[in-house]
Amino acid sequence: MSLPATITILIEDSVSRPTLKAEHGLAFWIDTGSHCILFDTGQSQLILANANELKLDLDAVDTVALSHGHYDHCGGLADVLANAAGEVTVYAHPRALDPKYRRTETGTRAIGMSIHCRRALYEGRHNLKTVTIPTEITPGMFLTGEIPRSHPEEQSEPGYCLDAQCRQADPFLDDQALFIRTSGGTVVVLGCAHAGVINTLDYIRHLTDDQPFHAILGGMHLHSASDERIAWTIKSLQQFSVKRFYPMHCTGAKAVAALWTAFPGRCFPCGVGTTMNI
Ligand SMILES: [Zn+2]
Ligand SMILES: [Zn+2]
């Protein structure tokens, strides 16, 4: 199954031109011609301003899919839903709505979905669909649901917790990726890949009967990874057939540099405003 689509970055940590604004977070606008889909919403209402600047009609959004429940991926949700002209179907893992915390040098801080956004989901006119298993959200476009952890090398970064005292580590059950089956290969859109980018790609390859990857976009959460972990990730990525990489957000400068070195001609710069045709 395949479908034509364009993917435009609406929120990212960098911009592709100076009239747009960056923030730490991600949001992708996916236009299939018959559906307007957002994968993540960034952390604030900046998504509305960037869409306006890019002349993208955010009112027309009919589907929102959330990669996980961190504020930098779902913080713009309430504004997106309030702005939508019609009913929006929101896909998220049920654990994406749980409180989440990050341990810092000075204590812990809440990094989950705001009450404001949770209220918008439950009290509004919109339709929440929970996802735990692979789910087709529009023909040819899927969410992975929970990602099996098959590689012990991809341990979650410590300091992410489910409680304010940081007693219970966050297992990131809510972390999922979006993938699109096209005639040129699978396109994968990552949120933060807290489940591990190799675990994620392994699972998608399994779900797509070993179809090659046309493009991998998004965050790989390697910004504080060790040199060994980055080297292992690069070596593992070489075992996949990937035509194009668009590393962004939490991938981290060191891992981005390693990708550009390991895959010459196959890595591409990107930021808010970058559009990819599928
Ligand atoms: Zn993130
Ligand atoms: Zn995250």
**What digits encode the pLDDT tens for the residues 65-102?**
999 999 999 999 999 999 999 999 999 999 999 999 99
Helix (H) or strand (E) holding 187: strand 185-190
Tell me, in angstroms, the distance from the centre of ligand 2 to residue 272's CA: 18
Mean pLDDT of 230-254: 97
Q: What is the average per-residue pLDDT within 3-14?
A: 91
Superfamily holding 6-277: Ribonuclease Z/Hydroxyacylglutathione hydrolase-like (3.60.15.10)
In the reported structure, the alpha carbon of residue 177 is separated from the centroid of ligand 2 by a whole-number distance in angstroms of 12
What pLDDT was estimated at residue 175? 98
Ligand 2 centroid, distance to 159 Cα (angstroms): 12
- Which ligand is in closest contact with the Cα of 25? 1
134, amino acid identity:
P
In a 10 Å sphere around its CB, with 0-12 CB exposed, 13-18 middle and 19+ buried, how is residue 105 labelled?
Answer: exposed
| Cα angle: 250, vertex 44, 174; to 5 degrees | 55
- Residue 57, Cα to own-chain centre: how many angstroms? 21
Q: How far is the CA of 238 from the centre of ligand 1 (A)?
A: 24
Write down the domain spans for the chain: 6-277
Higher per-residue pLDDT: 57 or 1: 57
Q: How confident is the model at residue 278 (pLDDT cuts 50, 70, 90)?
A: confident
Asked whether the predicted pLDDT for residue 216 surpasses 50, the reply is yes
| Residue among 38, 207, 194 at smallest CA distance from 134 | 207
- Residue 208 predicted with pLDDT over 50: yes
Which ligand is nearest the CA of 218, by number?
A: 1
Q: How confident is residue 124, by pLDDT bands cut at 50, 70 and 90?
A: confident
- Mention every residue, 6+ apart, whose C-beta is less than 8 A from residue 269: 16
- Cα–Cα distance for residue pair 169/210, rounded to 1 Å: 33
Per-residue pLDDT averaged across 209-215, rounded?
96
DSSP designation for 151: -
Total-model pTM: 0.96
Cα-based torsion angle of the residue sequence 19, 24, 29, 30 in order, rounded to the nearest 10 degrees: 140
Ligand 2 centroid to residue 73 C-alpha, Å: 7
Using the mean position of ligand 1's atoms as its centre, give its distance from the Cα of residue 62 in Å. 23
Check if the beta carbon of residue 215 is closer than 8 Å to that of residue 207: no
- Report the percent of the chain where pLDDT is more than 70: 99
* CA angle, residues 160, 166, 150, in degrees to nearest 5: 40
Ligand 2 centroid from CA 193, angstroms: 8
Mean pLDDT of 161-175: 95
Mean pLDDT of the chain: 96
Ligand nearest to the CA of 111: 2
**How far is 261 from 110, CA to CA, in rounded Å?**
36
Cα 240 to averaged position of ligand 1 atoms, centre (Å): 24
Between the CA of 72 and the centroid of ligand 1 the distance, in Å, is 5
> What would the two tokens of residue 174 be?
């809510």
The alpha carbon of 110 and the centre of ligand 1 are apart by a number of angstroms equal to 14
**How does 262-273 read in b/e, with b if 16+ C-beta sit within 10 Å?**
bbeeebeebbbb
Task: Determine the distance separating the centroid of ligand 1 and the alpha carbon of 25, expressed in angstroms.
Answer: 5
